Structure 1
Amino acid sequence: MTYRSSLMEFVGYARVSTQQQDLTQQIDKLEAYGCKKIFKGKHSGKEATNKEALEALLKYVREGDTVVVTKLDRLGRSLSQVLVCLDTLVERGVNLVTIDQPIDTNKSDALSKAMVQLLGMFAELERNFIVTRTQEGKAATGNYGGRKPKLSESQRLEIKNRLKKGHSKMQLSKEFGVSRATILNISRS
């Protein structure tokens, strides 16, 4: 466990999207701003290092600290992820400063407040776009989720007719490769 003094501190977070990208420029800016502790994330196949670095940062900071990033998008891959992170920081009394953008949650000036509120509106807009695109995609493909039925409508009708003729549910379940409960459900529908 790392010992921390009681003084509030600037804590940096640097992230890049691919393993090939370099963190050096972000780290240089964070150090120049006064960050002694810097958490680093690099994208990997499952984003594990970014997630782990951000979780470690969130565990490390405490009330009164200031998280410093070069740009707001360093906190997440989507606006909604950024806002979730920002909400977490605000709830814990941790400030956020972006070096290259006019965001400082410690300030109570109109521009800082407006930027945070605008981000909230954009996150809601982004979510609505995603929902709309998802619904349009489902409608276009006819795939609304769930498992595809094992039996076609014509097979279901055939099973109903054969049940009326006295065929056993067990025999039909074996023939059509479904459970006896499926045959029972068809007989009840």
Structure 2
Amino acid sequence: MKPVGKTLGYGRVSSDQQDVASQKAKLETLGAVVVFTETGNGSTLQGRNQLEAAILLLEPGDILLALHPDRVARDTGDLLTIAKRVVAKGAILKLDDPKIIFDGTDIMAEMMLTLFGLIGSVEKHFIKARQRRGIEAAKAKGIYKGRPATIQADDVRELRQQGFGATEIAKRLKIGRASVYRVLAA
């Protein structure tokens, strides 16, 4: 049996309108000495800096604790990748609901992670489908105009007329070069 180390908690909410405080409190109640929290989409591993920080701090015998599989990832591959990264550090991934303890030795725990990862993928699919239907309905009513423009096309054109290249325009306006090219091509 591996020596028991520290328990690090991980909580995630999808949007700024949600509050991660209840997850943090529950993780602390369950024994987490430090809780890493972030706001962001669980559909991808990119930009999950707090999850990365938690995994980097894991040592042999430690536990990475999350309340639910979908707080860790909403994709089977990502969930299993994270779980295996935790185990590669000599640590354990522990989920509270459903109770899953993944240490890399139990095929049933891996099967449960796979199942809940699949459920998260299906849930993600339905969320996106509902969102698309809502946008289409709003567009049909004429009340959805898309995200407000963040780039002032006139500023791009004015800087271009002053002789600046795309790279300099992008720097001055703090936008991407591709955005500059799109405005200039329009």
- TM-score (ref. length: structure 2): 0.54
How big is the shift at 1:115? 3.3
The alpha-carbon deviation at position 15 of structure 1 amounts to 0.4
- 1:116 aligned residue: 110
Residues 49 and 121 (structure 1 numbering): CA distance in 2 closer, same or farther, change over 3 Å?
closer
Instruction: Quickly say closer, same or farther: Cα 1:113–1:29, change in 2 above 3 A.
Output: farther
Match of 2:31 in 1: 34
Number of the residue aligned with 1:69 = 66
Which runs of structure 1 show a deviation greater than 3 angstroms over 4 or more consecutive aligned residues? 47-50, 118-124
Q: Which runs of 5+ in 2 are unaligned?
A: 126-186
Q: 1:49 to 1:114 in 2, by over 3 A?
A: closer
Residue segments in structure 1 that go unaligned for 5+ positions in a row: 1-5, 131-189
Q: In the superposition, relative to structure 1, how do residues 42 and 57 fare at CA in structure 2: closer, same or farther (>3 Å)?
A: same
Question: Given the two structures, how large is their TM-score scaled by the length of structure 1?
Answer: 0.53
Larger Rg: 1
Decide whether aligned partners of structure 1 residues 42 and 123 sit closer, same or farther in structure 2, where only a CA change above 3 A counts: closer
Q: 1:51 aligns with which of 48, 54, 61?
A: 48
Aligned residues: 119
Identical pairs, percent: 26
Superposed CA offset, 1:12-52 (max 9, x none): 000011111111111111010111111011017xx899511
How far residue 83 of structure 1 moved from its aligned partner, in angstroms, is 0.9
Q: Which has the higher contact order (CA 8 A, sep 6+)?
A: 2
Shift of residue 118, structure 1, vs aligned partner? 4.3
Question: Secondary structure of 1:104's partner?
Answer: strand
* CA-atom RMSD in angstroms: 3.5
Cα deviation for residue 96 of structure 1 reads 1.4
Give CA-to-partner distance per residue, 1:116-159, whole Å, 9 cap, x none. 124347769x7xxx9xxxxxxxxxxxxxxxxxxxxxxxxxxxxx
